[in-house]
Amino acid sequence: MTTITGVPALQPITRELTFVEQGLLGFEALLRYELTVYDPETPFYWLRSLEDEQVAFVVMEPIWLLEDYDFELSEDDARLMAVTAPQDVFVLLLCTVPEEPLDMTANLLGPLVFNRHNNLGRQLILDRQRYPLRYPLFQPQDPETESPTSAAVSEPGAAS
């Protein structure tokens, strides 16, 4: 088992990613994606299918939300992605973007884990007791200030 924690940030480049064995839940047959910067002023990326142009997801790195987001990578998953050290990986979270953007959530339960050297990846399913499927990106609005606070807009490592 390899513990994945404190993963270094991605460089803002376009890269092609390939899921090994199966794609994302609900999109198992789609294995090849392109990761591009959504907007350099935000922590978001586009994850677009190279096999179905109608399939795209907003994703982000967990460091923007939680400093202590960590999990175990099984030996089988590490082998499939050719991961030999925790520094070999980068992690992305799928985001849900509803009609009201302040209600955005990130999926902490099913992270996307990729080997940063060969771009092979897997979607993991973590412990439901530890991580939620829908983690709010923005904290509830404070009625005193009437302005939302957001973990996603603060600098990595900043106190929230």
What does the pLDDT average to over 137-157? 48
25-59 per-position pLDDT tens digit: 999 999 999 999 888 888 899 999 999 999 999 99
Considering the domain boundaries, does residue 152 fall inside one? Answer: no
Considering the domain boundaries, does residue 10 fall inside one? Answer: yes
Residue 80 has pLDDT above 80, yes or no: yes
pTM given for the model: 0.79
pLDDT at 140: 60
Residue 60 has pLDDT above 60, yes or no: yes
Considering the domain boundaries, does residue 149 fall inside one? Answer: no
Considering the domain boundaries, does residue 144 fall inside one? Answer: no
pLDDT at 99: 94
Domain hosting 33: range is 2-136
pLDDT grade for 139, boundaries at 50, 70 and 90: confident
Residue 13 has pLDDT above 70, yes or no: no
pLDDT at 37: 87
Residue 116 has pLDDT above 50, yes or no: yes
Total number of domains constituting the chain: 1
The fraction of the chain above a pLDDT of 70, given in percent, is 79
CATH number for position 60: 2.30.290.10
Considering the domain boundaries, does residue 153 fall inside one? Answer: no
Q: How far apart are CA 63 and CA 152, in angstroms?
A: 9
146-155 per-position pLDDT tens digit: 444 444 433 3
